[in-house]
Structure 1
Amino acid sequence: MKKLILLTLMFGGLFNLTTLAQQDKSKRASPPALVSQSLTSGASVSIDYSRPSLKGRSLNELAPAGKVWRTGANETTIFETSQDLKIEGQLLAAGKYGLYTIPGEKEWTIIFNKAWKNWGTVYKESDDALRIQVKPGKSKEFTETMSFEITKNGQVHLIWADTQISFEIQ
């Protein structure tokens, strides 16, 4: 009898995970977004992510300093480039990458991870393709819902709360 109950619970849990993975992304609390840009260098770059909102919480509550953060919500945020790029002077091969960050007061680490087709909290440092460090800045205005911008000349901006994290791609 105990085995039957255990099996029922296991299958129920798998059903719930499958249902969550297949649900309409537009109905989630953190809606999906896609930003893309053709750079002056000829490369196409895109970031596919879900946009969490602060909802009265601090940025540090949602993206704790010193800990790897999935840089968004739901599935892994995907950074894709059609050509090899230099990011802050370091080479990143063309392809898709999971985009993670490690927030900090004086410095943020931006991580491009080879595993991009995961739930956002799945992360293995051994899969990192590139890590860069950037200094956080103040955003022009307070932003409730996290967003990314990519400019034609290769500036990428992550903007959330009163913080802006930027890096250059060429």
Structure 2
Amino acid sequence: MKNLLKVKIAFLMLTAFFVYGTSMAQDEKPKSPPATATGEINGATITINYSSPSVRGRVIWGDLVPFDQVWRAGANEATTFQTSKDIMVEGEKLPAGTYSFFIIPGEMETTFIFNEVAEQWGSGKYDEAKDVLRVTVSSMQTSTMEEQLVYEVTKGGFEVRWEHGKAKASIK
């Protein structure tokens, strides 16, 4: 009787260990992990926080992300753009602060939108009346495939790249 009880306890412990180990092994990298691009331009610290989705064999521009419609510029929560000082984006003033950042993609031109409501989910509650700045930049196709959405703060501005698409804005 005592041996049977010991066997049952050992079996239950082994089962619990197996279930725990299996559940931990299933923790995988999120499909759209959080990412940050940061840099300094003319004394202003620029920080872009976003979730970085992957292409995963999909057509992105004009399909998954339709042309001529507001897009949240990433996945999950809206992308945020923060500047520590007033800057000029494409020759237009953007005061220091934190903004949600949206994009209206196009085949030849893309609109970058800086919205005063910094914390919001996706673009579902996007309100154009809260836009602080909109600038139009050129869109281009690249020969380099970017599997994951990438923002980069460069010496003279910032750019966004995903799949074979790229758009960039100058900052002074």
Query: What TM-score comes out, normalization by structure 2 length?
Result: 0.79
Q: Out of 66, 69, 81, which is 1:67 matched to?
A: 69
SS state at 2:75 partner: coil
The answer to whether 1:124 aligns with 2:118 is no
Cα offset for 1:138?
2.2
Determine the structure 1 residue equivalent to 2:78: 76
* AA in 1 matched with 2:138: K
Distance in 2 separating the partners of 1:123 and 1:27: 29
Shift of residue 144, structure 1, vs aligned partner: 1.1
Q: Does 2:51 correspond to 1:43?
A: no
1:54 is displaced (CA, Å) by 1.3
Deviation per CA, 1:19-78: give whole Å up to 9, x if none. Answer: xxxxxxx95320000111022x11100100000111111112221101100000000100
Instruction: Tell me the residue number matched to 2:138.
Output: 135
Where does the alignment leave 5 or more consecutive residues of structure 1 unmatched? 1-25
Q: What is the DSSP-based 3-state SS (H/G/I as helix, E as strand, rest coil) of the residue aligned with 2:129?
A: helix
**Residues 105 and 111 in structure 2, CA contact (< 8 A), matched pair in contact too:** yes
Cα deviation for residue 140 of structure 1 reads: 4.6
Give the TM-score normalised by structure 1. Answer: 0.80
Which one of 24, 31, 34 corresponds to residue 32 of structure 1? 34
* Amino acid of the structure 1 residue aligned with 2:144: E
Residue 163 of structure 1 corresponds to 165
Deviant stretches of 4+, over 3 Å? none
Larger CA Rg, structure 1 vs 2:
2
| 1:46/1:140 CA distance change after superposition, 3 Å | farther
Distance 1:154 1:84 in 2: 15
Structure 1, 54-63 or 28-37: larger mean CA deviation: 54-63
- Amino acid paired to 2:91: G
Aligned-partner Cα distance in 1 for 2:157–2:92: 15
Count of equivalent residues: 143
1:139–1:159: 8 Å Cα contact kept in structure 2?
no
Helix, strand or coil: the match of 1:61? Answer: coil
Q: Give the distance between the partners of 2:35 and 2:43, measured in 1 at CA.
A: 23
Tell whether the 8 Å contact from 2:153 to 2:159 is kept in structure 1 after alignment: yes
Deviation readout 1:85-106 (Å, 9 max, x if unpaired): 0000000000000000101111
| Partner AA of 2:109 in structure 1 | E
Q: Name the SS of the counterpart of 1:75 in structure 2.
A: coil
* Identical residues among aligned pairs (%): 40
Q: Which runs of 5+ in 2 are unaligned?
A: 1-27
Aligned to 1:95: 97
- RMSD of the TM alignment (CA)? 1.3
